[in-house]
Structure 1
């Protein structure tokens, strides 16, 4: 081996410290049996001889701290100036050697780090709703029955048309996707009423109900007239970069659709004797 050898003088209770120098030594002098076992486990040779240029390191405990000091060899007077041969400067204990314990060589033997989980959050990245302002989902659609009109004091049924959307773009300087999922629905009626629901609603036929039945998304207009209704859909957002899994973004946002016109009228029912078109003077006509 070119350069110096670094050897460890293992005092009482310090034999395991050979792990500190195994990456750069050819052996260890004055080692105990346990020190020899530790060195062998780490693939190091143990030498009992001290040659020219060799340095013996002693593990010294002072005030709860443990340090290595040269006690023999050419650099014994310079405690902190021990040169490591350049060709041996790279650690050999693996990815976890920065966590090695000077008194526990087993802690220096680490398995290789596993690849990052593609579904795991990107370290140090926190995405907010403000960051995805350029990712604009399409507004929702809205249907009602009866179509475009309603009867005073009878329920009109409203159904939202909205689904999951994925919008692509640039996020924090990287290509990304943002997924918007509807989680709430809100109908804003111009008579001041607000109808909120966790579902988009359904037609009377789908619900198995008769026309003008009350539903979870229906509304009753108390007076005749012309009204508007605007649908807002509450969205939950998630993002992903290329190769990563979906990550949630805190909070929700609302997207509004175009206002819808509703004509409300008053209708009376009467009993007639036959068809009023053919007998306009008949009873009830």
Structure 2
């Protein structure tokens, strides 16, 4: 900090100041302002900061060379981070990382996209024989639905993973197979299959199957799974179970249609 003292002798005797004297423009420019008047001498003092000068008034910096430039000093644009800067003069706008916004989705939110319920069928022709195998079939496959959730476009993919059978006689079974016909399995009628059931008594029974699905959703950035399973409740279907009686005959009904029991 450099302090300059200017003493001005006046030829005429000036009266002493009775109050504070205002600063001139030149005094304000120096960064300080002081005026003293003892009646014979008017003294004006001021201070001015110069780069590279010492703040110690006892040491003169006149003739000293400016300090070397700081090699680590950075330009305003260097002070801008990828997430912005408080400097206020970044050369470019802040660059924010792109993060996908995924709404919170639960399995219950996907009920509006649920696959159509499956109606089971039994062979042969929804008719069975008491004490023998009745083969059940439930045709379910992977399904994809589209729509919106909370205004966000979404694609939902359902995959069947389990089949809950109720046979109508009090028996139930949870299977991981959809079921196939005897012909597809290359098996004879009334033989056991992964989805067959044996009724012990004759009668009409209401059988149904509930299909359980896992779900995945795609919001435009790939598939991700949803916790839990969605179950569709299948409608009931009448299964008629007959009682079979055997008798020894000499000819079949094809050979003698009018024979007893034909």
Structures share fold, TM-score greater than 0.5: yes
- Matched with 1:136 is 114
Shift of 1:278: 6.0
Cα deviations across residues 247-269 of structure 1 (Å, max 9, x unaligned)? 21110011022211100011112
CA distance in 1 between counterparts of 2:82 and 2:186 reads 65
Q: Do the aligned residues in 2 keep the contact of 1:91 with 1:97 (CA within 8 Å)?
A: no
- Matched with 2:222 is 245
Whether 2:209 is the aligned partner of 1:270: answer: no
Cα deviations across residues 29-82 of structure 1 (Å, max 9, x unaligned)? 667xxx74x66xxxx58xxxxxxxxxxxxxxxxxxxxxxxxxxxxxxxxxxxxx
Gaps of 5+ in 1: 1-6, 8-28, 46-87, 99-111, 117-121
TM-score (norm 2): 0.61
Match 1:174 to one of 148, 152, 156? 152
- Matched with 2:204 is 226
CA distance in 1 between counterparts of 2:258 and 2:165 reads 45
Higher relative contact order (CA 8 A, sep 6+): 2
Structure 2 counterparts to residues 112-261 of structure 1, below 5 A: 122-123=100-101, 125-241=103-219, 243-261=220-238
Match 1:95 to one of 82, 88, 108? 82
Matched residue SS, 1:134: helix
Matched residue SS, 1:130: helix
Q: Do the aligned residues in 2 keep the contact of 1:141 with 1:162 (CA within 8 Å)?
A: no
CA distance in 2 between counterparts of 1:215 and 1:168 reads 36
Gaps of 5+ in 2: 1-51, 53-66, 86-94
How many residues are aligned here?
187
TM-score (norm 1): 0.57
CA distance in 1 between counterparts of 2:84 and 2:106 reads 37
Moved more, 196-205 or 261-270: 196-205
CA distance in 2 between counterparts of 1:132 and 1:278 reads 58
Larger Rg: 2
Cα deviations across residues 105-132 of structure 1 (Å, max 9, x unaligned)? xxxxxxx88766xxxxx44632112322
**Cα RMSD between the aligned structures?**
3.1
